[in-house]
Structure 1
């Protein structure tokens, strides 16, 4: 297996487990991973958010870690990467408004390269208009945006630990699905 190059799109308040787990999983598998964020330079950081399911009507949120940015935003050339990871959390609310983010996502789909999205990352897929006719899941509050974009909604498992794979797209509902999510992404990447 040869090492692949993977790009991860992040922003402030990206979900902690959904950024750190795939970042380390790619390194563990021997792949190179770059993390990029609009307006950020290599060596800077974004703040993560830790979301947990504690029996309330929705998840709770706590401040997480400082997560490293490894490439200047202006230097991202999506054509040089073999796969794309879009973690969730609150950052997709902001990232979906950035036209350059949407261009990057569209290029991965146009080139049929592996894309992994979880949680609120589905907002970016919907905004990029790349999910029409595609089976996918995300955090349940995102289903309308995905349905409006033409996606075929797959109901997440009760523990949010499942995954949906459809062609080059691998989606999950939340961080409890990280193992299945990254397993399916690595199958496509390798």
Structure 2
């Protein structure tokens, strides 16, 4: 397998696990991931937020890590990328106000390239007006918003054509596995070495 070039769009108070885990997991299997944020440059950081589920009516939010960007949004040409990742958190509610973000998202849908969106990330897809006719999921509180954009919402990790969606970071194993499949990534598992007895 040759690695793909993947664009990841982040912003301040992106959900901590939802940006860190796919960023690292995709690199671990040989893909190149460029993490960008409007108005920030490579080497700058986005503050993250941790969304935890503790039995309340909604998630509890606390301050997470600083996530370092490794590319500059202003220099990005979406045509140079094979796939897109859109994590959740609070960032999507303001990232969807940037024309450059919406234009990038539209490119991946126009060209039917793989897109993985999680939690509140589909707010950006809804604002880009690319969801009409898709079956997908999102954080449940975003259901009405994405349905208004023309999708059919389902409960659970979903794959429809080029789009893979999940509800929140607990979906990571299935969501990432589905995205790797869409990317054509073949992950080989080997048995651990067994030490010989002396």
**TM-score, structure 2 normalization:** 0.92
Q: How many residues align?
A: 184
User: Could you tell me which residue of structure 2 aligns to residue 27 of structure 1?
Assistant: 27
User: Could you tell me which residue of structure 2 aligns to residue 160 of structure 1?
Assistant: none
User: Could you tell me which residue of structure 1 aligns to residue 118 of structure 2?
Assistant: 118
**2-structure distance, mates of 1:72, 1:25:** 21
**1-structure distance, mates of 2:75, 2:145:** 30
- SS in structure 2 opposite 1:138? coil
TM-fit CA distance, 1:57: 1.1
The answer to whether 1:187 aligns with 2:181 is yes
The answer to whether 1:96 aligns with 2:90 is no
From the CA coordinates, give the structure whose radius of gyration is larger: 2
Structure 1 segments of 4+ aligned residues over 2 angstroms from their partners: none
Cα RMSD, aligned residues only: 0.7
User: Could you tell me which residue of structure 1 aligns to residue 169 of structure 2?
Assistant: 175
User: Could you tell me which residue of structure 1 aligns to residue 57 of structure 2?
Assistant: 57
**TM-score, structure 1 normalization:** 0.95
1:56-109 superposed Cα distances (whole Å, 9 cap, x missing partner): 111000100000111112101110111100000000001111111000000000
**1-structure distance, mates of 2:73, 2:39:** 6
1:130-180 superposed Cα distances (whole Å, 9 cap, x missing partner): 110100100011111111110001124xxxxxx100000000000000111
- SS in structure 2 opposite 1:120? coil
- TM alignment of 1:68-107, pairs within 5 A: 68-107=68-107
Greater helix proportion: 1
User: Could you tell me which residue of structure 1 aligns to residue 149 of structure 2?
Assistant: 149
User: Unaligned 5+ residue runs, structure 1?
Assistant: 157-162
User: Unaligned 5+ residue runs, structure 2?
Assistant: 185-198
